Structure 1
């Protein structure tokens, strides 16, 4: 019998070994040291595993980690766990254990009343087969520091930068929260997340600086400087800003490192027009990259919990779900002046059939139904979905 349950203290070594082999196999096997191989930053979240109860071996077959996040969807925060550290040793692969682990994780989420599941995939097509779908994108920038020197000339308010440490994380959190309100799927970070994940590194801790103007923190940067003299690079782990002036201040700060580093890298939401601001946009390498994937947990419970536009609409949906059975029956969503109900309607004729991943994209605002050429539905049904679920700007830059 296969059992899904929390990992105990006696499973710390197995968890560390599975994760190490799964994500950094080039490091080779190591003798487990709790302080070195399982630091506090790794212990955030809830560890789960599958166990074969018919063997004497108490080691898990496969493992994962759940972060109990809240994410912003349709203007409100909803419980949306982050699924992470899904790992299997080679001897347990290709036996269906990962699929079982994902299904049981969703069952736990459903029992908890969670609305969405988020994850950063090692490969998008792998999780797509189980119902997760890309729900965010971002611009990844790489450039020489001098490319951002335009910001010094355009900055009207010089302000002041100063370094901060983990005890002052609330200064950064205020800026992050203000920026996060503008983006769907942004994650509400806990105190421990700031302390152990933003301000703490694997080997070295990052630098952290805030930009203040008129006594208010309006932007911040958290970054690493890597490499050796003549070939140093700066990697920005985290940044946020309240307005364009604060963005320019951050760019000017980065530009001032032109005597120290050869290259810097950072990410921004796709609606931030940095290339339009830059004097030499052709020197600013910009790559559109996918963010995390998202998945509805239980549509019947999630959809009525969302805020809808003040419209009257009704749609019956057949959800194609490869992983769980509670989406087997069609569902009927009724919205009257922004108030919604959703019920399972066994035997009803659906207005459209849609896979759970695509529906998840539409619900969170990453795609509109009318954008999806793969959606086989009458025009009036597509128009109804567009009215219920207009596009929203999604952005997630919290790694987990």
Structure 2
């Protein structure tokens, strides 16, 4: 019999070894260090595992970590766990244990009343088969510091930078919240997340600087400097800004490291026109990369919990194809009247359209509209049904810059 349950003190070693082998096999077997496992970073999240109750050994077959996040969807924060650290030793692979772990995790989320699941995949196609889908995109920039020197010429002297310690994280959090409020799926960071993940590194802690104007935090950078003299790089872990002026201030700050740093790397939302601001955009290497994946936990519970445009009554009946759980077996009828939604299961009803749970997830969070997906051949429905979905779920701008 397979059992899903929390990992306890006796499983710390197995969790560490599974994760180490799963994500850094090139490091070779590493002896378990309980002191390292006691690090505050490692205490964030809830550890879970699958166990064979008929085995004499009480070692898990596969493990994972749940972060109890809230994420912004349709203007409101909804409980949206972050799933990470899915790992198993090679002797337990290709036996369906990861699939079982994912299904049991979703059942736990459903029992908790969670609405969405987020994860950063090691491979998108692996998790797509279980119902998760790409939820956002971002621009990853690489450049020399001098490529950002244009910002110095456009910035006045009214603001100033200063270093920030972990106990002052709330000054950064106010900027983060202001920027995150503009993007769907942004994660509401906890105090512990700021202290132990943003301001804390594995070996060395990062630098953190805030740009203030009139005593008010307007932008910030959290970054690491790596390498040695002549070949140093700066990797920006986290940044946020309230407006274009603050973005220019951050760019000017980075440009001022041209005597120390050979290369910068940072990410921005796709709607931030950095290349349009630059004097020579060809000096900015820009790669479009995928963000995390998203999945509805239970559409019947999630759809009526969302905010909708206030309009005349709209209704649609959906058949949701789900490869992992059975609570989407019956069609759902969503009705929205004057912005107030209701959703009911309608066994045996003829749906207006059938779609997989990953496709529905993309529509719901605003990453793709129904019209987008119809053009891509991923959604087959009459034009009036597509138009109804477009009105209920207009396009949004998802962006997740919190790694987990």
Normalised to the residue count of structure 1, the TM-score between the two structures is 0.99
In 2, the alpha carbon distance for the partners of 1:36 and 1:232 equals 28
In 2, the alpha carbon distance for the partners of 1:56 and 1:83 equals 29
Residue number in structure 2 paired with 1:17: 17
CA contact (8 A) 1:157 1:245 kept: no
* Paired residue secondary structure (2:349): coil
Residue number in structure 1 paired with 2:402: 398
* Paired residue secondary structure (2:275): helix
CA contact (8 A) 1:12 1:38 kept: no
Unaligned runs of 5+ in 2: none
Residues 136-156 of structure 1 deviation map (CA, whole Å, 9 limit, x = unaligned): 100000000000000000013
Residue number in structure 2 paired with 1:176: 176
Unaligned runs of 5+ in 1: none
Quote how far apart the aligned CAs of 1:157 are: 4.3
In 1, the alpha carbon distance for the partners of 2:79 and 2:186 equals 12
Aligned: 1:185 with 2:189 = no
* Paired residue secondary structure (2:177): helix
What are the within-5 Å matches in structure 2 for residues 232-271 of structure 1?
232-271=232-271
Q: How big is the alpha-carbon RMSD for the aligned residues of Structure 1 and Structure 2?
A: 0.7
Shifted more, 75-84 versus 310-319: the winner is 310-319
Residues 344-391 of structure 1 deviation map (CA, whole Å, 9 limit, x = unaligned): 100000000000000000000000000012211000000000000000
In 2, the alpha carbon distance for the partners of 1:123 and 1:43 equals 26
CA contact (8 A) 1:151 1:252 kept: yes
Residue number in structure 2 paired with 1:2: 2
Aligned: 1:325 with 2:329 = no
Aligned: 1:383 with 2:383 = no
Paired residues in the alignment total 400
Shifted more, 365-374 versus 248-257: the winner is 365-374
In 2, the alpha carbon distance for the partners of 1:248 and 1:190 equals 28
Residues 10-41 of structure 1 deviation map (CA, whole Å, 9 limit, x = unaligned): 11111000000000011111111111255220
What are the within-5 Å matches in structure 2 for residues 42-191 of structure 1?
42-191=42-191
CA contact (8 A) 1:50 1:101 kept: yes
CA contact (8 A) 1:157 1:213 kept: no
Residues 313-366 of structure 1 deviation map (CA, whole Å, 9 limit, x = unaligned): 000000010000000111000000100000110000000000000000000000
In 1, the alpha carbon distance for the partners of 2:85 and 2:203 equals 19
CA contact (8 A) 1:78 1:115 kept: yes
